[in-house]
């Protein structure tokens, strides 16, 4: 009986053991699957968060650097970081309506997480967007040279006058980027605008209205007021240049803004373009060439022996609004010396101050679902 009973008990224990082992195995496998799923969810969440951070950083970077959107309907740029990259696409939804509304844009930023993911898992990707308006400023183009501090002309009186309000559109000019000059008279302006009696030196300057002529205002304050530049506010921080204390590289095709605290020398080698703002004097080195706008608190010193070229517009003497008289500009006559109004170069340089302004409460987190 014992033997028989022992056999029955042994036959019952083995299947029970196998069942328990099987159940434990299934439970352990389920636990591993659950942990793996939770790990994947957590990892995907981190990847999505990183992609969102990259997209937001790219969006902010684009709003800090939007000069290239002017005159275009769509712009695509890419910003990289240590954890990924953001591809930004800005599209114009509506052009400006004169006197009613600014141009409406939407800026989409897609962030890509490049941190190495586990096998079988894709990298994170997130898309956000921001609606924005294009804010463009206005700088009245009264003359090729607006000089509240007057001009002293040097050289022989028989030599050509270097200052002209006749646009370079009358010559074979190839613009990069392309630019279409408006029809007369919008493309031409005065040659020189300054206070009455502010012109001294050799030769005479053409009087009267029209391209190349002189626009004489009553006082230096009136000349500075005509520029619409709030010089004291600009000096107190209401101007954010692209670069401080440096000039653009020789032969550049971009129009950015450059700021100098004090005097600056435009070196004689090669041509440069952009918006230059200096709190002191600006010296045109012999053989120098600037396309765009030059704004100086002090004087323009263009008295080199081997010529100079400025295509666009020059504004000087703004320090007079602070009670400081920098003295007259020095400009030398000669065939290789040119300060000529140019609508395209002036406009392109001033567009460096145009920027997109985000519209409040118009940020979209789930842009990819639209």
Q: What is the per-residue pLDDT for 100?
A: 78
Q: What one-character-per-residue DSSP string does 136-170 give? A: -------EEEEETT-EEEES-TTSPP-EE-S-GGG
Q: Whole-number mean pLDDT of the chain?
A: 83
| 3-class DSSP assignment, residue 343 | helix
In eight-state DSSP terms, residue 207 is B
The percentage of residues in the chain with a pLDDT greater than 70, rounded to a whole number, is 81
State the pLDDT at residue 125. 84
- pLDDT-based confidence at residue 204 (cuts at 50, 70, 90): confident
Q: Could you tell me the CA-to-CA distances from 341 to 48, 115, 206, 315, 351 in Å, in that order?
A: 53, 53, 16, 12, 16
Nearest to 171 by CA among 338, 314, 17: 338
- Residue 335: CB atoms within 10 A of its CB come to 9
Q: Answer yes or no: is pLDDT of 350 > 80.
A: yes
Mean pLDDT of 150-163: 92
Residue ranges per structural domain of the chain: 1-136+357-370, 143-353
CA atoms within 13 A on the CB side of 322: 17
CB 59 within 8 A of CB 85: no
C-alpha 277/C-alpha 352 separation (Å) is 12
Which residues lie below 8 Å from residue 153, measured CB to CB, with a gap of 6+? 161, 199, 200, 201, 202, 203, 205, 331, 332, 333
pTM of the full predicted structure? 0.70
Give tens-digit pLDDT for 95-147.
Answer: 888 777 888 999 999 998 887 666 556 677 888 999 998 877 677 888 999 99
Hey, what are 273's tokens?
């373009």
H/E stretch holding 310: strand 308-316
d(CA 336, CA 160): 9
Predicted pLDDT at 67:
57
pLDDT for the residue 242: 84
Of the listed ranges 31-45, 82-96, 308-322, the least confidently predicted one is 31-45
Greater model confidence, 174 or 157:
157
213-245 burial code (b ≥16 CB/10 A, e <16): bbbbbeebeebbebbebebeebbeeebebbeee
Is the confidence at residue 68, as pLDDT, over 80? no
Please, which contacts does 92-95 make with residues 24 or more away whose CB atoms are closer than 8 Å? none
Note the pLDDT tens digit of each residue in 259-286. Answer: 999 999 998 778 899 999 999 999 998 8
The answer, yes or no, to whether residue 17 has pLDDT greater than 80, is no
Of all residues in the chain, what percent carry a pLDDT higher than 90? 35
Q: Which ranges of 64-152 does DSSP label H, i.e. alpha helix?
A: none
Q: What is the mean pLDDT of residues 308-314?
A: 93
C-alpha span between 343 and 352 (Å, rounded): 15
Do 346 and 293 meet the contact criterion of CB atoms below 8 Å apart? yes
Dihedral over alpha carbons 112, 113, 117, 120 (to 10 degrees): -20
Provide the 3-class DSSP secondary structure of residue 219. Answer: coil
Is the model's pLDDT at 31 over the cut of 80? no
Burial of 298 (0-12, 13-18, 19+ CB in 10 A): buried
- CA-wise closest residue to 258 among 266, 272, 246: 246
Helix residue ranges per DSSP H, 119-266: 220-227, 231-235
Q: Please state the rounded mean pLDDT for residues 193-216.
A: 84
Any residues with CB less than 8 A from the CB of 338 and at least 6 apart, and which?
A: 162, 164, 307, 308, 309, 310, 311
**Mean pLDDT value of segment 346-369:** 81
Left (φ > 0), alpha (ψ -120 to 50) or beta: where does 201 sit? left
């Amino acid at each position: 009986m014992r033997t028989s009973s022992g056999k029955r008990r042994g036959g019952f224990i083995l299947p029970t053991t196998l069942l328990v082992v099987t159940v434990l195995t299934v439970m352990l496998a389920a636990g591993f699957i659950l942990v793996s799923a939770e790990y994947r969810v957590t990892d995907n969440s981190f990847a999505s968060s990183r992609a969102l951070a990259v997209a937001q950083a790219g969006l902010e970077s684009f709003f800090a650097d939007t000069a290239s959107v002017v005159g275009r309907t769509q712009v695509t740029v890419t910003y990289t970081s240590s954890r990924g990259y953001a591809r930004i696409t800005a599209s114009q939804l509506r052009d400006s309506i004169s006197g009613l509304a600014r141009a409406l844009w939407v800026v989409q930023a897609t962030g890509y997480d490049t941190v190495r993911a586990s096998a079988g898992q894709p990298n994170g990707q997130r898309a956000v967007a921001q609606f924005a308006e294009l804010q463009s400023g206005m700088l009245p183009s009264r003359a090729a040279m607006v000089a509240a501090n007057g001009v002293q002309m040097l050289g022989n009186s028989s030599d050509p006058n270097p200052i002209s309000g006749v646009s370079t559109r009358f010559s074979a000019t190839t613009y990069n980027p392309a630019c279409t000059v408006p029809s007369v008279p919008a493309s031409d302006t005065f040659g020189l605008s300054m206070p009455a009696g502010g012109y001294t030196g050799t030769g005479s300057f053409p009087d009267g209205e029209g391209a190349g002529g002189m626009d004489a205002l009553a006082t230096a304050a009136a000349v500075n007021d005509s520029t619409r530049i709030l010089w004291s506010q600009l000096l107190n921080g209401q101007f954010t240049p692209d670069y401080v204390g440096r000039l653009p590289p020789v032969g550049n095709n971009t129009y950015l803004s450059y700021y100098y605290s004090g005097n600056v020398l435009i070196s004689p080698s090669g041509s440069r373009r952009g918006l230059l703002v200096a709190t002191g004097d600006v010296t045109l080195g012999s053989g120098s060439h600037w396309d765009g706008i030059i704004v100086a608190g002090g004087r323009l010193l263009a008295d080199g022996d081997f010529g100079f070229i400025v295509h666009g517009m020059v504004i000087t003497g703004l320090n007079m609004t602070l009670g400081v008289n920098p003295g007259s500009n020095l400009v030398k006559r000669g065939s290789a010396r040119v300060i000529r109004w140019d609508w395209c170069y002036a406009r392109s340089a001033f567009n460096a101050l145009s920027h997109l302004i985000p519209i409040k409460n118009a940020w979209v987190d789930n842009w990819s679902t639209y």
